[in-house]
Amino acid sequence: DIQMTQSPSSLSASVGDRVTITCRASQSIDNNVNWYLQNPGKAPKLLIYGTSNLQSGVPSRFSGSGSGTHFSLTISSLQPEDFATYYCQQTYSSTPYTFGQGTKLEIE
């Protein structure tokens, strides 16, 4: 399986801050990375697909970058509704597709 290692596992920040979450793959996965946001008790929500493509309806303060084995999700100016848990996912190899362990973003 391709392992996806996210860092940090938790992060404290304030409204208006710029934050970056990273994901490292155990092997090269081209640009096949997606990012999700999950609020407690809710299903995840797709934010970014194919490394850097913004899903329809997602605010432009979210952006993604990277290639090969290193990827990142950046939120340019945190809003109150952004405090949640974030997951990366690789879809390079379907046996199986794998997620990172999550990054919990909390209010400082």
Partner 1 sequence: QVQLQQWGAGLLKPSETLSLTCAVYHGSFNDYYWTWIRQSPGQALEWLGEINHHGRTNLNPSLRGRVMISVDTPKNQVSLQLTSVTDADTAIYYCARAKAFGYGVDVWGQGTTVIVSS
Measured on CA atoms in the order 100, 39, 64, 78, is the torsion positive or negative?
Answer: negative
Give the whole-angstrom CA distance, residue 13 versus residue 73.
Answer: 15
Q: Given the complex with partner 1, which of 20 and 45 has the nearer CB atom? A: 45
Whether 71 and 100 have beta carbons less than 8 Å apart is answered as no
For the bound state, the minimum distance from the C-beta of residue 8 to partner 1, rounded and expressed in Å, comes to 15
Q: Which is nearer to partner 1, 36 or 83 (CB)?
A: 36
CB 105 → partner 1: shortest distance, Å?
15
Q: By C-beta, is 74 or 92 nearer to partner 1?
A: 92
Residue the block writes with tokens 């092997």: 27
* Minimum gap (Å) between residue 16 Cβ and partner 1: 28
Which parts of this chain interact with partner 1 (CB under 8 A)? 1, 32, 34, 36, 43-46, 48-50, 53, 55, 87, 89, 91-92, 94-102
Q: DSSP of 54-95, one letter per residue?
A: EPTT--TTEEEEEETTEEEEEESS--GGG-SEEEEEE-S--T
Write down the least CB distance from residue 91 to partner 1, Å. 3
